[in-house]
Amino acid sequence: MNVTRLPVRISADPRRVIARPFLPGGRARIVAIVDRVRALPDAEVSSMVATLVSDYRQRHKDIRGIFRQNYASAMAFAALNPEGSEDQRLLLGAYFTNEYSLESVALFNPSMVLHPDQNGVPQGSERFVMSLRACGEGHISSIEFRSGLIDAHHGVTMDPPTRFALTARPVDDALYDKESYLLKLREMRAHSTLAEPILALLDGQFTISDLKYAIARCKPKESSTHFKELADNMLWLAHSNYQLEFSPDAALSERVIFPVSESESRGIEDARFVRFTYPDGRVAYYATYTAYNGFRVLPQLIETTDFRHFKMNTLNGDCVQNKGMALFPRKVGGHFMMASRLDGENIFLLKSDNIHFWNESKLVHQPKLPWEFVQVGNCGSPIETDQGWILLTHGVGPMRQYWLGALLLDTDDPSRVIGELAEPLMVPNADERDGYVPNVVYSCGALRHGDHLILPYAVSDSHSAVATLSIPELLAQLQPR
């Protein structure tokens, strides 16, 4: 295969930092810090605030707002409402804030989709959105975004990111669907007779405040271990489904989806974005990702239409296992379709009438060639052509090398493989073998541009690059199975 590596390199920048709440210890330590700050002379407090603001405003868009927000969070956590001046509150907010470098380890595993705004794009060109997995201290992963332009000759130009990085707080009044919530509760084996009175107090759509109120109303007078376990599970499930909203003035490259719920506390990994078109022409962007809490992985789903408002939801069903789920860009035969590696080794096709619930699977491809004997998986959502669906794959071979491959799936029955490559599509070259995880090329999703694939890929789990290849040439190389 003639794969063209473009002179594009998306590298990690340790200067891109976010300001996170910092709570050193329990309530007693927070109270002690408050008392120490309140004992400082007003002039010293004002001087310290001025120095902090001057020092950090070049690193954060609204450092005063961050200080105020983190002060409020710390006071709520410690159940405090101390009197004090504005400067005292700002200084305390600084004590309860720390910076986190999002990309200090790596910036990798990209996926690429068409940008929702194509206004002003030259003829033959397309604007794109690229998602990337940023990895920082403690190996905590988050999702970042970049944008750029593909020209008429398949060249790729990346827009430079701004200096700032911003996170978003979950929307407080987000609505939950009671029917879907109940199905997931049962699937978790968390539903019991104790849940019935709580659910009876909830409307068909409810907020997390409604749920907390219902739990409090139904709490037994005497302590109950079973009720506490139920309440914890019900709140855990609600917190795993949330919405984010970024400020309209936040540039795309500034928006960071950072772990929020307990289920993703150790990272949000490998988002596979796809531009999904419904039969009525409506377009939504979905992404599957892996939530990791340090002990187990949980496949999740992102939904957005504008990359400013995001819905984060659990995926449910017997087939929601392991990593690497990738949604097809449209329904096939009236069903949602998903490529998955639910057993950790083979590629399966999942089918469902509900995008949130997956209980039907069929084995599609097993390790067959030496470069994929350890395991196989997808490299993003399938790409439709006149001859079938191109599914980019990865195989793991000796020395835990990750190489890229491809399958061709039948248009109307994607569970039927009609073509496969006899040799890898792409292997690490001499300049791509070294990094955080050596000997790896990997992608979370390519984009079709005319008769070419634009393939963003990770280099040894360290940085990202972009390659292109001819679709007709690839189709010609896919041998009938």
Confidence (pLDDT) at 325: 95
End residue of a domain, out of 57, 85, 101: 101
Confidence (pLDDT) at 113: 98
- Do residue 192 and residue 320 come from a single domain? no
Confidence (pLDDT) at 170: 87
| 3-state SS assignment for residue 277 | strand
Confidence (pLDDT) at 184: 85
Strand-pair category, 297-304 with 309-314: antiparallel
Strand-pair category, 336-341 with 323-327: antiparallel
215-238 burial, b if ≥16 CB within 10 A, otherwise e? beebeeeeeeeebeebbebbeebb
CATH number of the domain residue 455 falls in: 2.115.10.20
- Do residue 436 and residue 339 come from a single domain? yes
- Do residue 134 and residue 272 come from a single domain? yes
CA distance 224 to 349: 43
Q: Whose CA is closest to 259, among 274, 272, 269, 273?
A: 269
- Do residue 157 and residue 279 come from a single domain? yes
| Distance separating the N- and C-terminal Cα atoms of the chain | 19
* Tens digit of each residue's pLDDT (9 = 90 or more) over 313-359: 989 889 998 889 999 999 999 999 999 999 999 999 999 999 999 99
48: buried, middle or exposed (CB in 10 Å: 19+, 13-18, 0-12)? middle
CA distance 363 to 365: 6
Residue 138 has pLDDT above 80, yes or no: yes
Tokens 């097993």 correspond to 366
456 CB-near residues (< 8 Å, 6+ apart): 10, 110, 111, 112, 130, 443, 445, 446, 464, 465, 466
DSSP codes, 49-114: HHHHHHHHTTTSTTHHHHHHHHHHHHHHHHT------HHHHHHHHHHTEEEEETTSSEEEEEEEEE
Contact 4, 471 (CB under 8 A): no
Helix (H) or strand (E) holding 474: helix 471-477
Domain span at residue 87 reads 19-101
- Do residue 280 and residue 404 come from a single domain? yes
Can you say how many angstroms the Cα of residue 211 is from the centroid of all Cα atoms in its chain? 26
- Do residue 162 and residue 180 come from a single domain? no
Contact 108, 135 (CB under 8 A): yes
- Do residue 278 and residue 330 come from a single domain? yes
- Do residue 116 and residue 213 come from a single domain? no
Confidence (pLDDT) at 10: 98
**Confidence class for position 406, pLDDT limits 50, 70, 90:** very high
At residue 378, φ and ψ (nearest 5 deg) are: -85, 165
Residue 458 has pLDDT above 90, yes or no: yes
Contact 300, 312 (CB under 8 A): yes
CA distance 169 to 223: 33
The count of domains in the chain is 3
Q: Tell me the whole-structure pTM to 2 decimals.
A: 0.92
Kindly compute the dihedral angle of the four CA atoms of residues 267, 375, 439, 436, in this order, to the nearest 10 degrees.
20
The average confidence (pLDDT) of the chain is 95
**Confidence class for position 467, pLDDT limits 50, 70, 90:** very high
Confidence (pLDDT) at 239: 85
User: What tokens appear for 353 in the block?
Assistant: 């009438």
In the chain, pLDDT over 70 holds for what percent of residues?
100
CA distance 308 to 304: 7
- Do residue 195 and residue 251 come from a single domain? no
Residue 433 has pLDDT above 80, yes or no: yes
- Do residue 35 and residue 8 come from a single domain? no
At residue 288, φ and ψ (nearest 5 deg) are: -90, 145
Q: Higher model confidence: residue 366 or residue 298?
A: 366
**Confidence class for position 83, pLDDT limits 50, 70, 90:** confident
* Tens digit of each residue's pLDDT (9 = 90 or more) over 139-177: 999 999 999 999 999 999 999 999 999 999 888 778 899
Confidence (pLDDT) at 171: 86
At residue 325, φ and ψ (nearest 5 deg) are: -90, 135
**Confidence class for position 7, pLDDT limits 50, 70, 90:** very high
End residue of a domain, out of 239, 265, 284: 239
| 3-state SS assignment for residue 253 | helix
| Residue 341 DSSP code | E
Confidence (pLDDT) at 169: 83
**Confidence class for position 82, pLDDT limits 50, 70, 90:** confident
* Tens digit of each residue's pLDDT (9 = 90 or more) over 266-321: 999 999 999 999 999 999 999 999 998 888 788 899 999 999 999 999 898 899 98
390 CB-near residues (< 8 Å, 6+ apart): 382, 383, 384, 406, 407, 408, 453, 471, 474, 475
- Do residue 140 and residue 280 come from a single domain? yes
Q: Which residues pair with 363 in a beta bridge?
A: 348
End residue of a domain, out of 101, 120, 143: 101
Confidence (pLDDT) at 414: 98
CA distance 425 to 427: 7
At residue 462, φ and ψ (nearest 5 deg) are: -125, -55
Tokens 């907390």 correspond to 212
Within 10 A of 333 (CB to CB), how many other CB atoms are there?
Answer: 9
Confidence (pLDDT) at 1: 79
Once rounded to an integer, what is the mean pLDDT over residues 413-426? 96
- Do residue 106 and residue 63 come from a single domain? no
CA distance 147 to 129: 5
CA distance 442 to 401: 10
Strand runs labelled E in 368-451:
375-378, 383-385, 388-396, 402-409, 417-420, 441-442, 447-449
**Confidence class for position 183, pLDDT limits 50, 70, 90:** confident
CA distance 89 to 108: 39
